[in-house]
Structure 1
Amino acid sequence: MKIIGISTAVVAIAIFGSSCVSNKKFAALQGTYGELQNDYKALNDKYQDCQREMTGSTTRVRSLEEQIAQQRAGLRSLQDALNKCLNSSSQGNVNISKLVDEINASNRYIQQLVNSKNKSDSLNMVLTNNLTRSLSREEMRDVDVQVLKGVVYISLSDKMLYRSGSYEISPAAGETLSKIAKIITDYRDYEVLIEGNTDNVPISQKNIRNNWDLSALRASSVVQALQTTYGVDPKRLTAGGRGEYNPIASNDAEEGRSRNRRTQIIITPKLDQFMELIDKAPEKADSVSPTGQPVTGS
């Protein structure tokens, strides 16, 4: 605006002063005016350039601001993702720690079970040894002894105990029964159940109705022999028959039927006797390893 004002003043001076100035001065003023016009044009061009540069700079600044805003938003998103990852990792570490604790607890429980099994196996060996110590190898062929959870199962084959198809005890069974009676007498506080079992072949005797009768009569014969012949206290004895309904083998073959025809003597220790036997169980010698193999103490 200042440049325009100067140009106007020069023109006015030229107009009003043309009548009172010489041609020489007028020409000089004309030259000055031309220079001013050129200066004005140059300045106006620079102004326009500056305006364009300012507009471009404003556009670039706006674009940069948008890019900065996008970068900040991306940074916030990355930070949130990182925080979630760190939280998940921390939670994962907690879960892993809990899992490790559970595994360790399970391992300790398994070890306790193994130790209990070893103790139980040692107790079973003590009971078995005590119960079979007086039986010969020949007698053990017809006598099966098992100890399960402190309960003793002595299974006697019918061919050793009775005459065929009868409930009368044979003379050959006397020696074996006397030894079993000695075992029962040694453990005087134990309860004794005599249980008769048969195969599934029907019995054909006038005085025996079925296998139920036969099994009960055979059990009763053993009970009475233990009482009257070998002096076992009858208050400790119980006779029972299970007929053909408690097989331990298939009745389809003679071998299986022979195994099923048996009389089982079940000796159950009372709690005080059971605890006494636990105290007798060896701690080191003749124990059983977790793999099931005998371990001999040094």
Structure 2
Amino acid sequence: MKQLVIFIVLGGLLGCVPIKKYKDLEAKYAQCQEEQASYKSRAIDFENQLKELNVQTEVMRKGFETLQADTARLGDEYRQLAVDLYKTKELNKVLEDKYAKLLKSGSASNASLLQDLEATRIELQAKEDRLNKLEKELNTRERALSQKEARIKELESMLRNKDEASKLLKEKIASALRGFTDKGISVEERDGKIYVSMEAQLLFPSGSTAVNPQGKKAIIDLAAVLEAQEDIDILVEGHTDSDALRSAVHPKDNWELSVLRATSVVKIMLGNSEMNPLHISASGRSEYQPVDPHDKAKNRRIEIIITPDLSELFELISNDE
């Protein structure tokens, strides 16, 4: 009887182990879901910021062109008014000479000449006032134009530097992963971002979230290049095919599989480099962003999206506004 009781107690204790492990996995999955939602929101915000930056740059450029055209028109008007003023001054001098002669001769037409002279003086004063006002406005516009031009040049220089840095980084990544190009890895640049795509067959056994040794080496080689970059944000996205995954344990479906695989890659990158965790995130896309509807192997992949930090550019535009 005593042996039976001991056997029952031991059986109960052994039965608790898989339940506890299952609950731990449930908790980790819930945490992954929360992190995924946060990272997805951050990625969308960054995408919107990049679009806003492009729009604001174009608005600044159009505003500069408008200001440039207005300044040119104002300059033409100023020069024409200066010519008119010169002619009026010449006419006024002629009239003053005639007036001086008439004063000496005592001509009866003095009154009429005085009226003409006064009218000319008033016209001359009005033109001088208009010319002074126009000159001040022209100077103000030229200063504004110069400042706007300097801002645009600075912005274009920063964008050009970002593009050059992005191209250089792409070359470094491609060089570091050259030994894996025939094993399902591609590197390309689109819309100012670098996309590193790794087919799942290089990284994971079927249905697994554990990275195999060959895939781990590729991830570590990539991390070695990225750890020296301080002004980038990295999003690791997991993708699956459309085949349904149903399991009683984790991962239960394609959503979990995509998130957990992305998380596995992030952990390897952070665990084998000095990358800043604040600039890297994991996300799962499940089956909903296929690259080839006819090739499931290509759809089962990890995409590492490297985006330049544009905070300095946004600060420049904000200061300009």
User: TM-score, length-normalised on structure 1?
Assistant: 0.46
Choose 1 or 2 for highest CA Rg: 1
Structure in which a larger fraction of residues adopt helix: 2
